[in-house]
Chain A
Amino acid sequence: MKNYFKYRKPKTKRSKRFLESRAPKLIEDVKTAMIMKGGNTSQTVTQALKDIVSSNITRPFEDSTSLEFFSKKTDSSLFLFGSHNKKRDHMPNDVCVTVSFVLFAGRLFDFHVLDMIELGIEKYVSLSDVKASKCPEGTKPMLVFAGEAFDTDNEHKRLKSLLLDFFRGPTVSAVRLAGLEHVLHFTALDGKIYMRSYRSLLKKSGCRTPRIELEEIGPSCDLVLRRTHLASDDLYKLAHRQPKALKAKKKKNISHDAFGTKFGRVHMQKQDLSKLRTRKMKGLRKRKGNVVAEEQDGQAPKVAKEAEHTE
């Protein structure tokens, strides 16, 4: 599959630019996400997908089409796939059918699936259900993860990383203070993950930093972590490898010790240690009367001069 795309050589400038935009780069662009719905998605799931991305792009596809092929076509590395499946629980007495809405969230590395997590949607409140003024689309949201699980459980840690990838938006060097409106809060609690979306109001607080008040907007869902397909540690490490060019240049001859003190190395030419002038000890200086002192005398003004220079 990879080779099919590589064999083509660009014949026009436009196609060349297109291929260059898809080629691996030093500093990568913002990750784009494919939002897909499976064969039998319900209203809720579709609504959920739309709200999360606040766009109308849903690509229905048959199961036969490979996810990876699609990601190559659209050059996206994140995906969100919604469906609902009916589980038949064969209890001894009766057959009960549980219908659950399911969301598959995942990301790809080099067009192969890196991580994929199945999340069951237990409760869902859509954008339209919540009556409140919304944040303008495209604001970079503030993300908060609460709960021990996000720090201790491996799967939760991956989920946190995945959610961060999904929601963080483009990396910017500066942010308008008044534009920090959107807050996404994820709480891992009681085996569930509660996602809530708020609009933050910056109120006067008497000092420079404002006081925060939150107003619930946007979709909220209660998710349950189900099956996961996580990348092996090796693949995960490989995916994190940064090109050498991006590594911060280390300044030579500067080191820090445990306390944070900065040490530097200064390279000097070879010095004749016998001719070194150390601190002047007035008491050790010979008196002017002596013969030896005459030599010293000659040297004394020199010493004084040098001392002046060094001090």
Chain B
Amino acid sequence: MAACSVEALLAKAEQEEAEKLKSISVQKELDLEFDIGNLLACDKNRIDLREFREQKKEDFLRSLARDNTQLLINEIWKQPTERVQEAIVVKLPDPATPLPREKPPPKAKPPTKWEQFAKLKGIQKKKKTNLVWDETRVAKNEYNRLKNIARAQKGKVPVMGLATSTQQSKEELSLAVSVAKTSTASAGRFQDRLPKEKAPKNMGKKRKFEPLIGDFSNERHKQLELLKLMDGKKPKLDITKAVNKQMREEDREEAAAKYKKRAGKKGRKGGNMSGKGKGKGGKGGKGKGGKAGGGGGGGGGKRRGKPGKH
């Protein structure tokens, strides 16, 4: 009993297999010739003219085409397949049918003078890479990229006047405000002010010129004053003042230099050394004689010249 059922099962399985294959198998006298690289199939079997004339032409042709296409597909499915980005793709071999070329194959170019020389000497061509890894550029790019992202997401972008987002002094804030105010198309001329905000001084013009033809009396007065000054014996330049100014400047420079040195060495704020005081006491003082003052003034003048050179 069991044997019978097993046999029956086997027979059934065979039948099923045959049926499955039946759907894709095609009977032909002669096998088709395939050129898979060109997706080409050639059917050399004789076509029965009588059959063709009996049946409807289109149906006959269609069934013939179906059979041939089925055989071609069977052949294509035998090729190796692979998966490429969610699609299954079958690898085609090279086309087998020889087809004429468009143009004759290119002729080998005769080697140039350099090529001949290089061959003779055994010089090989070295490829230069003109892209070099640059750390600083990379860092800068990265910084700019992050800035762009921050700007795009309307995050905190450091503003001109405020470098840090921590505690700012009153001066810094006012500077930031003034910078922000002037950063408009009309350079801040039409910006509204807060109720208690003071009007900014020295806006716009940095120099004031008298109108060309205006106040005649004023102009006349000014010209006469000028002539008086030029005629007068008193020197316009207050020499002591000039000297003191010069000395103060120099002291300040020295102090700054020392401060930098100190800061570099020990990181302490040396700052206000007594260099200033020394200088004042040591060098000229007030109320020296005119000549001495003149000499000092001349010397001061000379000294003034020197820094100018540097």
- A residues engaging B (CB < 8 A)? 23-26, 28, 31, 77, 107-111, 114, 140-148, 150-151, 160-161, 164-165, 168, 171-178, 180, 183, 185, 187, 189-190, 194, 196, 198, 200, 202, 205-214, 216, 236, 238-243
Contact = CB atoms under 8 A, between A and B. Distances in A.
A164 B38 CA distance: 8
B44 interface: yes
Nearest to B76: A180
B180 interface: no
Contact of A140 (B39, B46, B62, B81): B39
Interface of B: 19-21, 23-24, 37-47, 49, 52, 57-58, 61-62, 64-66, 68-70, 72-74, 76-77, 81-82, 84, 87-92, 95, 97-106
Contacts of B44: 147-148, 150-151
14 contacts: A24-B106, A77-B102, A111-B103, A146-B68, A147-B44, A164-B97, A174-B89, A177-B88, A183-B69, A185-B61, A189-B49, A196-B62, A198-B62, A210-B73
A200 B71 CA distance: 13
Contact of A189 (B42, B52, B68, B74): B52
B23 A171 contact: no
Contacts of B39: 140-143, 168, 175, 180
A28 B49 contact: no
B20 A205 contact: yes
Chain A CB within 10 A, most for which of B37, B39, B100: B100
Given A107-B100, A151-B44, A164-B40, A187 B106 contact: no
Given A164-B97, A165-B99, A147 B73 contact: no
B41 A143 contact: yes
A282 B202 CA distance: 121
A187 B46 CA distance: 11
Contacts of A146: 42-43, 45, 47, 64-65, 68
Q: Is the interface of A mostly helix, strand, loop or mixed?
A: mixed
Contacts of A185: 61, 64-65, 68-69
Contacts of A161: 97, 99-100
A78 to B, nearest CB: 9
B260 to A, nearest CB: 56
B65 to A, nearest CB: 4
A151 B106 CA distance: 33
B310 to A, nearest CB: 53
Contacts of A176: 87-90
Nearest to B57: A194
A211 B46 CA distance: 24
A212 B68 CA distance: 10
Contacts of B61: 185, 187, 194, 196
Contacts of A150: 42, 44
A190 B52 contact: yes
A207 B92 CA distance: 21
Contact of B21 (A177, A202, A207, A241): A207
Nearest to A243: B105
A168 B40 contact: yes
Nearest to B37: A171
